[in-house]
A and B are shown apart, each in its own frame.
Chain A
Amino acid sequence: MQETSDFVLFLGRFHPLVVHLPIGFLLFAFLLEILARFQKNKALTVVVPLALLSGAISALVACILGYLLSQSGEYEKSMLDRHFWVGIGTTVVAFLAWAIRTDKIKISALQKLKPNMALLTLLVILIGITGHYGGNLTHGSEYLIKYAPFNAKAEKELPPLASLEEAQIYSYLVEPILEQKCMGCHNSSKQKGGLAMHTPNLLVKGGKGGAIFNAGNSAASELIKRVTLAEDHEDFMPPEGKTPLTEEEISLLTYWIDQANADFGITIASVETSEEIKQLAANSLGLDFEGEKNMVSTKLPEVPPVDPELLDELSASGFKIRELVIGASLFDVSLPPNTIPSNQNAQPSLELLLKIRANIIRLDVSENHISNEDLAIVGQFLNLRQLQLEKNPIDDEGIPKLMVLKQLESINLYGTKIGKASLPLFSQLSSLKTVYAWQTNLEKDDITFGNKNLTHPKIILGAL
């Protein structure tokens, strides 16, 4: 395809702006004509010719700019043609209406039909049609009626799956990603970069630069390159302002190209699939997946944002709050030792934190006179990954209250009174990797069986 000069495109992009001028002028002419008729006020019709002429001329300009814009080759041919011809038609009729109105042309047959009104009505209809086709071109033909009450949700329903293994990789994992993040600009009517993704054939065909993936080799695939560039890179996809792909989504695309050879029918069962990918796939399909052993989802939980004033309030009551990933509203919260004195109940303090319980993924309330009962509150922080409870008056009776913390990876219980009874509980927490248990009632013999150590989780005792 021939390259279009930048200047042509620059001008062309004024088309969407200029088109509103003829629409305004011509509708205004129509409005005046009607008002004049109802109010029997001839004076109103004086400006009709002017409105018609302005409308016609601006329509002509819009046509020219529209033609320039179409040179970008980003629009689907048949839809473009329709918009093109109806647009020209509208312009011609506008000039005609003006000519008749100002008696530049006199056709006696038409005079009788009150041609001004008729032509104006025709114009309004034409404008409507042109506008609609134009809208379809920019927004896609489903845009207008997508949320209409009569529109039965046209989304493709994929048949439900009996197991993760039988999911077709493309339709169940890849297509939804492309649909959500890319097809807004790469579809039947809008083909940015000459690329459409809504059918497998077109996806294979690629864009202006040719094929966008190289089956079996994601590293040499334009598709992967574009989404893994630095976010501020010119070629990064999706372009600035749109939500980028997450790491998980990129892994799935990579998996499809590398492991599934970018095949459109193949299922998870028939290709080599790592545990991690299975986990990601299960997450994305909303299926349960029991990994081989203590797989933890690496994905950060999505949580509601927190009111900054609430954070100030919590800070004022002694909590130290650090944001762990900027903008993600995930926090590391700690309470300096002995903020809660020994003669005071820790409950009110901990309850304050419940307001942001989903947002806390690391919590340190060590050395603060936390009791077994208080752990019932700690157990409500369901997204906790790291919990520091060391040097608190806690024993085996408190641990069952923490069994709901399914994301927990490490728990620090050094200097507490926990003992052997808690060991089986720890093993049940599948994501738990490490328990720190120095200076507790646990001893070396408790965690060795014969000469084998308890392997899950790791129990760390003292150095001596």
Chain B
Amino acid sequence: MCNGHDTLKSNNKDLQEVEKQWDRRNFLTKTSLGLGALAFGSLLNSEKAWSNLGNPDAESTAANSFIKNRLGLPHHLPKAKRIVYLFQSGGPSQLDLWDYKPKIKDMFGQDLPESVRQGQRLTAMSALQENFPIAPSIMDFKQYGESRAWVSELMPYTSEIVDDLCFIKSMQTDQINHDPAITFMQTGNQLPGRPSMGAWLSYGLGSDNENLPTFITLITKNMTGQPLYSRLWGNGFLPTEHQGVQFRSGKDPVLYLSDPENYDGNDRRKMLDYLGKLNDVQHDTYGDPEIQARMAQYEMAFRMQTSVPEVTDMSDEPDYIFDLYGEDSRDPGTYAANCLMARKLLEKDVKFVQLYHQGWDQHIGCPEGIRAQCKRTDQANAALIKDLKQRGMLEDTLVVWGGEFGRTVYSQGQLTQSDYGRDHHPKAFTMWMAGAGVKPGFTYGETDDFSYNVVKDPVHVHDFHATLMHLFGIDHERLTFKHQGRRFRLTDVHGHVVNDLLS
């Protein structure tokens, strides 16, 4: 079939020369790819995942036999089975939301002492500023719940659930600009090319639902801000099927799932089987592992034809659920609707649901901007926690809220009594987690009076990653992938599990 070139032989002398070369080249590609395929085979994590491809019964047999984890995972008893990561892109101001700093109330407009800034690198946006006037938050803070956690007036719904949350006030990152910082947060490295957290988990632990992708990304529609590239949920050098699948924000989360007009789809299974055979031939010839990854994707798409319409159908959600998540949740593609969708996907045992919400980059007009952002997200965040909790899912679902960095205490641009802007700040910011295996109603770490430096229990992004892996039963130092001659891991050569956060 595709081996036709083997029979191509010419009488022409010149052509014969060319053919010879071709053969040698062919030999080289085939052998090198073949070796690559051998190596790849040893990296696959589930014994039976591939053996049935191209076999008409693949779906049923693969799903109906016990699949032992080939990577020797989990290393210890996992607390978390799935995760929803509510990524707040742009860098939400910890100073206006969680990190209450009453001492600077009467330092309004004073220059930030050099002893605090300590020559800290600034972005190009405020590096040229002549002074750094302190801008105390104009938001009203109160303590809530039995845990007496501080929350600003901007998050009224979240303040109701603080006893389920675990705040980390001492997050630190290495990066000061959006793209490297968000890449760092999602992949453990500032440069593009590494696998994202979700891809690592998919690679390490495999799927819990054969009919849906293991890693799904949802992005709030109609938001502007720093761009989000698909590499943030990419597989890097891990096998392709571990990349996150982005659902579109809107009514039709996955396009072209329904059959075109005048086609009933009855012979699609047959068609895929023949395609599978052709691809098998191709794979036997070239041994390219990506052919198998592609075949797996076709099969996944086939199963998604039934599974996706089912899971994205909101019509069976009662009104009180929409009321819980807020009015927006009826409008597909909004943050609230995505939170609700996330719950439905998690219910179906999708392992990693990643939400992105842009627009937290308040360089100017911070109070107004952040107020609007909270309005779009606060109720849905709280609703998601409550909804997961009442279904018992918070028991083994991890919820993470946070951005790529924090914001400065000094005002970028004009400071007035009611308005200020805030620049990027990597040295201290706040995140929260909830659910599986983390301490509820707990606050960890402290910043100084300016929310500028961490003074107690710093948690670096690498530590956060290590802790997250730990909750899934993975020793972050032992989940590695060899690529270009070196073993890589999510935490590179860093990271410590923050045991104090674990329940």
On A, residues with C-beta under 8 Å from B are 230, 300, 308, 311-312, 314-316, 318, 320-327, 330, 332, 386, 388, 390, 410, 412, 414, 434, 436, 438, 460-464
Cβ–Cβ contact A460 & B66, under 8 A: no
A389 to chain B, nearest CB (A): 10
B78 at the binding interface (Cβ < 8 Å):
yes
Cβ–Cβ contact A316 & B64, under 8 A: yes
Cβ–Cβ contact A326 & B392, under 8 A: no
Interface residues of B in 69-109 (CB under 8 A from A): 69, 72-78, 81
Q: 24 A–B contact pairs at CB < 8 A?
A: A308-B66, A308-B68, A311-B66, A312-B66, A314-B66, A315-B65, A315-B66, A323-B68, A324-B473, A326-B72, A326-B74, A332-B81, A386-B396, A388-B392, A390-B391, A410-B392, A410-B395, A412-B391, A412-B392, A434-B395, A436-B395, A460-B392, A463-B386, A464-B324
B484 at the binding interface (Cβ < 8 Å):
no
B398 to chain A, nearest CB (A): 15
Contacts of B390 in A (CB 8 A): 414, 436, 438, 460-463
Query: A321 to B208, alpha carbons, bound, how many Å?
Result: 9
Query: Other than the known A388-B392, A460-B390, what 16 A-B pairs have Cβ atoms closer than 8 Å?
Result: A308-B66, A308-B68, A323-B68, A323-B74, A324-B77, A324-B473, A325-B75, A327-B72, A330-B77, A414-B391, A414-B392, A436-B390, A463-B383, A463-B386, A463-B387, A464-B320
Cβ–Cβ contact A316 & B72, under 8 A: no
Contacts of A312 in B (CB 8 A): 65-66
Cβ–Cβ contact B392 & A325, under 8 A: no
Contacts of B387 in A (CB 8 A): 463
Cβ–Cβ contact B320 & A325, under 8 A: no
Interface residues on B, range: 20 to 34
Query: A312 to B61, alpha carbons, bound, how many Å?
Result: 10
Q: A312-B66, A316-B64, A326-B72 are in contact. Are A463 and B389 (CB under 8 A)?
A: yes
Q: Looking at the complex, which one of A322, A461, A463 makes contact with B324 (CB distance below 8 Å)?
A: A463
Contacts of B395 in A (CB 8 A): 386, 410, 412, 434, 436
Q: A300-B77, A326-B75, A463-B324 are in contact. Are A321 and B389 (CB under 8 A)?
A: no
Contacts of A464 in B (CB 8 A): 320, 323-324
Contacts of B473 in A (CB 8 A): 324-325
Query: A436 to B386, alpha carbons, bound, how many Å?
Result: 12
Cβ–Cβ contact A438 & B66, under 8 A: no
Query: A434 to B395, alpha carbons, bound, how many Å?
Result: 9
Q: Looking at the complex, which one of A308, A320, A390 makes contact with B392 (CB distance below 8 Å)?
A: A390
Cβ–Cβ contact B66 & A324, under 8 A: no
On B, residues with C-beta under 8 Å from A are 64-66, 68-69, 72-78, 81, 208, 320, 323-324, 383, 386-387, 389-392, 395-396, 473, 477
Query: A228 to B93, alpha carbons, bound, how many Å?
Result: 41
Q: Looking at the complex, which one of A318, A324, A327, A436 makes contact with B78 (CB distance below 8 Å)?
A: A324
Query: A165 to B323, alpha carbons, bound, how many Å?
Result: 57
Contacts of B383 in A (CB 8 A): 463
Contacts of A321 in B (CB 8 A): 66
Query: A385 to B390, alpha carbons, bound, how many Å?
Result: 19
B269 to chain A, nearest CB (A): 21
Contacts of B74 in A (CB 8 A): 323-326
Cβ–Cβ contact B386 & A326, under 8 A: no
Query: A308 to B69, alpha carbons, bound, how many Å?
Result: 13
Q: Which residue of B lies closest to A410 (CB)?
A: B395
The 9 nearest A-B residue pairs measured at CB: A463-B386, A311-B66, A436-B392, A412-B392, A438-B390, A316-B64, A312-B65, A315-B66, A462-B390
- Indicate the member of B383, B386, B391 with the most A CB atoms within 10 Å: B391
Contacts of B324 in A (CB 8 A): 463-464
Cβ–Cβ contact A436 & B391, under 8 A: yes
Query: A462 to B320, alpha carbons, bound, how many Å?
Result: 11
B330 to chain A, nearest CB (A): 17
Query: A462 to B391, alpha carbons, bound, how many Å?
Result: 8
- Indicate the member of B65, B73, B78 with the most A CB atoms within 10 Å: B65
Query: A388 to B473, alpha carbons, bound, how many Å?
Result: 21
Q: A314-B66, A315-B66, A386-B395 are in contact. Are A320 and B389 (CB under 8 A)?
A: no
- Indicate the member of A320, A321, A325, A463 with the most B CB atoms within 10 Å: A463
Contacts of A322 in B (CB 8 A): 208
B57 to chain A, nearest CB (A): 12
Contacts of B389 in A (CB 8 A): 460, 463
Query: A463 to B324, alpha carbons, bound, how many Å?
Result: 8
Query: A3 to B74, alpha carbons, bound, how many Å?
Result: 43
Query: A311 to B47, alpha carbons, bound, how many Å?
Result: 14
Query: A410 to B392, alpha carbons, bound, how many Å?
Result: 9
Contacts of B323 in A (CB 8 A): 464
Contacts of A412 in B (CB 8 A): 391-392, 395
Query: A333 to B185, alpha carbons, bound, how many Å?
Result: 33
Q: Which residue of A lies closest to B210 (CB)?
A: A320
Query: A311 to B81, alpha carbons, bound, how many Å?
Result: 20
Query: A311 to B386, alpha carbons, bound, how many Å?
Result: 36
A336 to chain B, nearest CB (A): 9
Cβ–Cβ contact A326 & B69, under 8 A: yes
Q: Which residue of A lies closest to B323 (CB)?
A: A464
Query: A424 to B323, alpha carbons, bound, how many Å?
Result: 34
A427 to chain B, nearest CB (A): 19
Cβ–Cβ contact B77 & A320, under 8 A: no
B346 to chain A, nearest CB (A): 14
Contacts of A386 in B (CB 8 A): 395-396
